[in-house]
Chains A and B, each alone.
Chain A
Amino acid sequence: MSEVNMPRLSDTMQEGTIAHWLKKPGDPVKKGDILAEVETDKATMELQAYDSGVLEQILVQEGETVPIGQAVAIIGSGTGVQKQAQPAAEKAGRAAEEEAPTSRAGRDGQRQEQAAQQTASPTGDTGSSAPLSTPPASAPRERAEAEAGGDGRSIKASPLARRMAEEHHIDLAQLRGTGPGGRIVRDDIEDFLEQKPAASAPAATPPPAAAPTVASQVSIPEDAEAHPISRMQAAIARRLTESKQTIPHFYVSSEVDMTDALAMRQTFNASAGEDGVKVSVNDLIVKACALALEKFPECNGSFKDGQFIQYKHINVGIAVDVPAGLVVPVIRDANIKGVRSIAREAKALIEKARANKLSQTDLEGGTFSVSNLGMMDVTDFIAVINPPQAAILAIASTRKRFVPIDGQPVIRDLMSMTMSADHRILYGATVARFLQEVKRLLQNPFNLLG
């Protein structure tokens, strides 16, 4: 018999929600079968079986959220099939009430800090996707004993964790294990040791953003109704609150004559043939931004821990609207890809996004973003920076306008764009020059095919 645990599906994942069970108790499973879909703060991913046998018991119901490492199901020989699932939600809810709110806030802040430190990686963007809220840890003693079958001495802990606990006089029953099967490991002891001094010095650093995270108990007017938000929506809420509250945004706008670009696109697509992928205006913009980023690498960076991190790869995120919110899949190395490759990738990513099938890899590593509302007849708009990136370019609709050329009014296709930039590392003149380059490339569109 073996436990199926909530896997860690991304670097920053701390907990996951079971979206759907694809198997039910009594179903035979083979190693590699997909047991369930798991919603994390970034994407919906698959939970695979690592053992073969019979799914004997489901411990976590659809819609319930549990920390990584916690058992969500049991696979066995089939003798212990239990149709009735354990009421895990009830247990978790009760536990959450028991946890003191102060210690929770303290820990949250600390974890975010920790996550931010872990993201000095040149390609990662994961820093800001620190956990939404601490997983609801049960009242420690009760939980540890429940897991240990009422006997406090048989708590699962690694030999090293036991030795460290002994050295630091820590009662292992106070800890929640995040190792496989809920085993207490070195990480958990170190988390605990760091958390202790923080608790005794309250209000040292308040959490950076009071993001609208947990559904509150606040009463709502009678003529309104409250809807729970998805994990993705909660993550968006938190990240964007943090972005707008901690990043000093500034904005620079410019107008691009797209007449030639549109003409080129038409010719280009006419030659694509029946099955060829059509290049969109947005694909051209992505390519133009990528080339401009090559020239202005300052815009391809992050402000982190008082340092300016400049990325070597140019990975452009494209904002895609999906029914439950917004996702930003990434086109990697867009500067060295042809526009047709970009078009093909963008199309695939958008289809995956709409089908809620984006993987972690599709979403991470972005170094710059483009948000395009051009198809929705907008005059102008301003986007919020997608942290930890330094800038985002908002693209409005292209409209026919009279433009004076040699003293004569001529009808041209004009598109307006606005860049939001992080003033801690970018300055007006740099951004203006960057926009000039984007404009130059789009107005001389054959540069994009080079």
Chain B
Amino acid sequence: MMADITYRQALHDVLREELLRDENVFLLGEEIGNFEGSYKITAGLLKEFGPKRVVDTPICENGFVGMATGAAMLGLRPIVEIMTINFIVLAMDEIVNHAAKIYAMFGGQCPVPLVIRTPGGGGQQLSATHSQNLEVWFAHVPGLKVVAPSTPADAKGMMRSAVRDNNPVIFLENLALYNTKGEAPADDYVVPFGKAKVSKEGADLTVISYSRMAAVALDVARRLEKENQLSVEVVDLRSLRPLDHETILNSVKKTNRAIIFEEDWRSYGIGAEIAAILQEYAFDYLDAPIKRVASLEVPLPYSKPLEIAALTGAKQLLETINELAPRRRRGVQR
């Protein structure tokens, strides 16, 4: 029997299980020990595993990401928490110039089994410097893997894959996902990287998304099917690098219409990459221009009404779906 658990609980449980399973696994980050994490993912773990396995660091992202990279090179399996993705910019050099490159630059002699967990996302009135979605910067870099699960079950399975992977993984979470619930098996399963998931089948058009927006898209698609029988297929990418071309191409070859729905800014975003793949490999299947639904290109305002106006969401997705929907509907049983 599977129980409904929160995304937060799923992460907590899987971290604990990995700490138990492999003594080389350890956690480090700001306020993850005594304070139990800004978002309480690491609650109780310091008590259970002690300060050698759950390490509170000073406020110095470049320092502790560098330290984790070194530890990983020497055989440990660190899981770093960056409090939010906004602070990751301080550790860019360690991630992009070191962690991502070492395995290739040393001829495969030295793997770097490092996981960096970090939540992104806006909507919490944390203003411009604390609400960003910067995953695309990392998805651009060969040598990194970037994953962004949207459900508790995928979060568990992908965290296991991340910890057991021998090279650096950026594990993207989302502030607004932590309290969402879903079923998650209790056994020791893994969700492989590079495999998107069709979270709802549909016939009229495809919405491609990831992380929190994948959850929003699924909700919108279910509602539309119930209310007006528009049949929307939802593809949850789960993994941004490696990216599963096959699943998105198959979906769009079936529905002929695609929307990419992402919380980040539109220009040069994940949507731009997906759109490029679709037009390159499924050109003859496209019946309409590929649409991107993303957030406004502004530093996110603090003011609640302005924040709502700037962030993308269900409303923007619905508008675009209505604009793009074909006249003849295929989802309806005739």
Does B256 sit within 8 A of A, measured CB to CB? Answer: yes
Contact of A121 among B228, B284, B326 (CB under 8 A): B228
The reply to whether A118 and B284 contact each other, CB–CB distance below 8 Å, is: no
- CB of A398, distance to nearest CB on chain B (Å): 40
The reply to whether A159 and B285 contact each other, CB–CB distance below 8 Å, is: yes
The reply to whether A185 and B229 contact each other, CB–CB distance below 8 Å, is: no
Contact of B332 among A118, A178, A180 (CB under 8 A): A118
Q: In the complex, A158→B229 CA distance in Å?
A: 24
Does A187 sit within 8 A of B, measured CB to CB? Answer: yes
The reply to whether A185 and B284 contact each other, CB–CB distance below 8 Å, is: no
Hey, what's the 0/1 contact readout for A177-218 against B, CB within 8 Å counting as 1? 011100001110011000000000000000000000000000
Contact of B287 among A118, A124, A161 (CB under 8 A): A161
Does A247 sit within 8 A of B, measured CB to CB? Answer: no
Q: In the complex, A190→B256 CA distance in Å?
A: 14
> Which residues from A are CB-within-8-Å of B286?
158-160
> Which residues from B are CB-within-8-Å of A121?
228-229
- CB of A166, distance to nearest CB on chain B (Å): 9
Given A120-B229, A159-B284, decide whether A185 and B326 contact each other with a Cβ distance below 8 A.
Answer: yes
Q: In the complex, A302→B228 CA distance in Å?
A: 17
The reply to whether A185 and B287 contact each other, CB–CB distance below 8 Å, is: yes
> Which residues from A are CB-within-8-Å of B21?
none
The reply to whether B288 and A185 contact each other, CB–CB distance below 8 Å, is: yes
The reply to whether B284 and A117 contact each other, CB–CB distance below 8 Å, is: no
Does A354 sit within 8 A of B, measured CB to CB? Answer: no
Closest-by-CB residue of B relative to A184 is: B287
Given A121-B228, A158-B288, A160-B286, decide whether A186 and B326 contact each other with a Cβ distance below 8 A.
Answer: yes
The reply to whether B284 and A186 contact each other, CB–CB distance below 8 Å, is: no
Q: In the complex, A149→B229 CA distance in Å?
A: 39
The reply to whether A187 and B327 contact each other, CB–CB distance below 8 Å, is: yes
> Which residues from A are CB-within-8-Å of B283?
159
Q: In the complex, A436→B76 CA distance in Å?
A: 81
> Which residues from A are CB-within-8-Å of B285?
159-160, 163
Does B328 sit within 8 A of A, measured CB to CB? Answer: yes
Does B334 sit within 8 A of A, measured CB to CB? Answer: yes
Does B47 sit within 8 A of A, measured CB to CB? Answer: no
Given A121-B228, A159-B283, A186-B256, decide whether A179 and B288 contact each other with a Cβ distance below 8 A.
Answer: yes
Q: In the complex, A178→B329 CA distance in Å?
A: 15
Q: In the complex, A191→B286 CA distance in Å?
A: 18
Q: In the complex, A120→B285 CA distance in Å?
A: 29
- CB of A47, distance to nearest CB on chain B (Å): 15
The reply to whether B329 and A158 contact each other, CB–CB distance below 8 Å, is: no
> Which residues from A are CB-within-8-Å of B284?
159-160, 162-163
- CB of B332, distance to nearest CB on chain A (Å): 7
- CB of A88, distance to nearest CB on chain B (Å): 23
Hey, what's the 0/1 contact readout for B268-291 against A, CB within 8 Å counting as 1? 000000000000000111111000
> Which residues from B are CB-within-8-Å of A123?
227
- CB of B316, distance to nearest CB on chain A (Å): 15
Closest-by-CB residue of A relative to B328 is: A187
Hey, what's the 0/1 contact readout for B289-328 against A, CB within 8 Å counting as 1? 0000000000000000000000000000000000000111
- Find residues 113-139 in chain A having any chain B CB closer than 8 Å to their own CB: 114, 117-118, 120-121, 123-124
- CB of B122, distance to nearest CB on chain A (Å): 24
- CB of A157, distance to nearest CB on chain B (Å): 10
10 closest A-B pairs by beta carbon, nearest first, are A160-B287, A158-B287, A186-B287, A187-B327, A163-B284, A187-B328, A159-B286, A159-B283, A159-B284, A185-B287
- What is B's interface to A at a CB cutoff of 8 Å? 227-229, 256, 283-288, 326-329, 332, 334
Q: A180-B288, A185-B287 are in contact. List 4 more A-B contacts (CB 8 A).
A: A120-B332, A159-B285, A159-B287, A161-B287
List 24 A-B residue pairs with CB atoms under 8 Å apart, sorted by A's residue number.
Answer: A11-B228, A117-B332, A117-B334, A118-B329, A118-B332, A120-B332, A121-B229, A158-B256, A158-B286, A158-B287, A159-B287, A160-B256, A160-B284, A160-B286, A179-B288, A185-B326, A186-B256, A186-B287, A186-B326, A186-B328, A187-B326, A187-B327, A187-B328, A191-B328
